[in-house]
Amino acid sequence: MSDWIKTQHCYDIGKKPIEIYVFVDPLCPECWGLEPIIRKLQIEYGQLFSLRHVLSGKIDSLNMGKNKNYENLAQVWEKTASRSGMSCDGSLWSENPISSPYTASIAIKAAELQGRKLAIRFLRQLQEYVFIGKKDISNIEVLTECAKMVGLDVEEFLYDINSSSAAKGFQCDMKITSEMEVTEIPSLVFFNQNIEEEGIKVSGVYSYEVYVQILEDMLNGLPAPAPPPSLEEFLSCFKLVATKEIETVYNMSKNTVELEMKKLVLKQLAEKIPAKYGTFWRYTKKQS
Cα–Cα distance, 40 to 245 (Å, whole number): 8
Cα–Cα distance, 53 to 119 (Å, whole number): 9
pLDDT digits (tens, 9 = 90+) for 193-224: 877 778 999 999 999 999 999 999 999 999 99
Distance of CA 159 to the CA centre of its chain: 24
Res 287: pLDDT: 62
Contact 26/34 with Cβ under 8 angstroms?
Answer: no
User: Which residues does 229 contact at the CB level (< 8 Å), separation at least 6?
Assistant: 2, 4, 5, 43, 237
CB atoms within 10 A of CB 8: 20
- Report residue 252: phi and psi, to 5°: -105, 155
Quick one: DSSP state of residue 128?
Answer: I
pLDDT digits (tens, 9 = 90+) for 244-282: 999 999 999 999 999 999 999 999 999 999 998 889 999
Contact 30/84 with Cβ under 8 angstroms?
Answer: yes
Cα–Cα distance, 160 to 163 (Å, whole number): 5
pTM greater than 0.85 (yes/no): yes
Strands across the sheet with 240-242, in order?
Answer: 240-242, 279-283, 270-274
Res 11: pLDDT: 46
Q: Which residues of the chain have pLDDT under 50?
A: 1, 4, 9-13, 60-61, 63-64
Cα–Cα distance, 159 to 101 (Å, whole number): 19
Percent of the chain whose predicted confidence (pLDDT) is above 90: 81
- Which amino acid appears at position 209 of this protein? E
Give ∠ CA 71-67-172 in degrees, rounded to 5: 100
Res 66: pLDDT: 53
Res 58: pLDDT: 64
Burial (CB < 10 A; 0-12, 13-18, 19+), residue 264, is buried
